[in-house]
Amino acid sequence: MLEPFRAMGEPVADEVIQRVFADNEVDSVNRMLRSIQSNVHLVPAEMPDAVEDYLNQTDDWPEWADAEKVRLGQRLFQRYGMQMTLAYFTWSLPCCYSWAKAAKVLTWTGGIDKHVHRRIIETAQFVLDVMAEGGLEPKGFGVRTAQKIRLLHATIRYHLGRDPEWRAAEWGTPANQEDHVATLLTLALVPRVLTQLGLDFTREEEDAYFHCWKVIGHFLGIHPELLPRDLEDAEQLWEAIQRRQVRPSEDGVALTRSLVEYLKMRIPGTMMDGIVVSTMRELCSEAVADAVGLEKADWTRHLMGPMRWMFFLSDEAQDRTNFAAKISASLSRKLLEGLHSSETGGSRVTFQIPRSLQESWNLGG
C-alpha cells in the first residue's frame, strides 16, 4: 500500500509552484517561504495570483474535523509543551534522520550544519504556531505556516525532480507522501513517547492530540487515503513505515551528529552535555539509534531510571510528573530560549513563541 505514495507529491501545491516558475515570479514566493522562520506577517503583500488562490482555497477545515478534540489537543500542548518540545528535538528529528531515503533530501544541496539548524528552527516554529491557542482557526498563524511549508515541499520537489543526479527510482519522489505522513507521526505520537520520561496521558488525551495533528496533516496536503483513521491506525502505520524505511546511512549519521552538537550548545556548561544523547537513547528505538550512529550514553544515562522511578512512586495527580517535568522542562526551556537568538548561515533568525504559550510556560517575551 505504501510504495505508490513514495512516487507521489502533492498536486495542488505542485501546480502552484510550477505556475510560479513558469511566470517568473520566484522572488516573491521565496520571500514568503523565508518568512516561515520568523512568521512576522501571515502573508507578504503582492503575492502572485496563483499563490493567493492557493492560500484562499486550502485553509478550510475538513468535514471530519472535531473542534473540541482539536482544542483538547492544543490544551494538552499548553500543559506539557515544554516536555513535548524536548521530545521533538530528541525523538522526532532523530527518527526522521533514520530514514535513509528521506535523509538524502535534507543533505542533497550540502551545508549539513546549516540544514540541521534551519530545520530545527522551522520545525519548532511550525509546532508552536499550530499548537498555540487559535493557531488552527481561520487565517490563524498555524494554518498559514502549514500552507507555507506545503509550498516549500513543492519547491523542493520542483528543484530536485529536475536534478539529473537524483535517483527517483531508488529514493522516491523528493518530499513524497510517505515521508510526509511519517514526519507527521513523529509529532502526533509524542505523548506515547513521553511516557518513557515519566509523563502519563489518558487514551482520550492521546486520541485528541493525534486528531489535532490529523487536522494539521490535512492542511499540509497529506493524501486523505494516507492519513490514519484513528490513533490505533496511526500506531500501526508508524510501525510499518519504520520497518520499511529505517536504514543506516551517512546522511542520517551526519545530520544526527550535527543535531547533537547543536543541542549541546543550547545547554549551559559542559557537565550535562551527555544528557542529549542519553535522552535520545531513552526515547528512540535501538534500530533508530543504530541507523543514525548515535554514540553510547555516558553517566547521565543513570538519570533516566530515577525519572521513571519517581513517577512510579507518585500517587497524587499533581505530583505525578514532578521530577520528570523539572528536568525535561528545564532542558526544553533552554532550547526554546536559545532559539530566540539563533543564527543560521550567519543571518539572525527571529523565532516567535506565541504569547499564549509564553504565559503558560513562564517564558520571557
The pLDDT of residue 81? 82
d(CA 321, CA 198): 6
d(CA 268, CA 249): 31
Helix 250-265 vs helix 112-131: crossing angle, to nearest 10: 70
Does residue 165 lie within any of the structural domains? yes
Percentage above 70 pLDDT, the chain? 72
Residue 327 confidence (pLDDT) above 70: no
Q: How many CA atoms lie within 13 A of 156 on its CB side?
A: 21
**Whose grid coordinates read 494516507?**
226
Mean pLDDT score across all residues of the chain: 81
Nearest to 142, CA basis, from 152, 131, 153:
131
Greater model confidence, 109 or 123: 123
The pLDDT confidence band at residue 348, using thresholds 50, 70 and 90, is very low
Could you tell me if 277 and 294 are in contact, meaning their C-beta atoms sit under 8 angstroms apart? yes
Does residue 106 lie within any of the structural domains? yes
Does residue 113 lie within any of the structural domains? yes
d(CA 258, CA 131): 27
Does residue 363 lie within any of the structural domains? no
Work out the average pLDDT over 80-93: 87
Work out the average pLDDT over 95-114: 83
Eight-state DSSP code of residue 6: G
CA dist list (Å): 310 to 76, 124, 323, 325 = 22, 29, 6, 11
Could you tell me if 234 and 188 are in contact, meaning their C-beta atoms sit under 8 angstroms apart? yes
Give the DSSP per-residue string, 55-79: HHHS-SPPTT--HHHHHHHHHHHHH
Could you tell me if 206 and 192 are in contact, meaning their C-beta atoms sit under 8 angstroms apart? yes
The pLDDT confidence band at residue 343, using thresholds 50, 70 and 90, is very low
pLDDT tens track for 220-259: 999 999 999 999 999 999 999 999 999 999 999 999 999 9
Maximum average pLDDT range among 39-43, 135-139, 155-159, 222-226: 222-226
d(CA 245, CA 237): 12
Residue 308 confidence (pLDDT) above 60: no
The pLDDT of residue 75? 92
Maximum average pLDDT range among 29-38, 138-147, 345-354: 138-147
The pLDDT confidence band at residue 365, using thresholds 50, 70 and 90, is very low
Which residues neighbour 357 within 8 Å (Cβ) at sequence distance 6 or greater? 78, 81, 128, 131, 132, 363
Does residue 269 lie within any of the structural domains? yes
Number of domains composing the chain: 1
d(CA 296, CA 277): 8
Which residue range forms the structural domain that includes residue 118?
3-341
d(CA 297, CA 286): 13
Residue 69 confidence (pLDDT) above 90: yes
pLDDT tens track for 280-299: 998 999 999 999 999 887 76
d(CA 264, CA 258): 10
Strands 347-348 and 343-344 turn out to be antiparallel
Provide the β-strand partners of residue 135.
none
The pLDDT confidence band at residue 184, using thresholds 50, 70 and 90, is very high
**Whose grid coordinates read 502572485?**
48
d(CA 136, CA 139): 8
The pLDDT of residue 353? 57
d(CA 215, CA 232): 16
Does residue 227 lie within any of the structural domains? yes
Does residue 62 lie within any of the structural domains? yes
Does residue 203 lie within any of the structural domains? yes
Could you tell me if 76 and 208 are in contact, meaning their C-beta atoms sit under 8 angstroms apart? yes
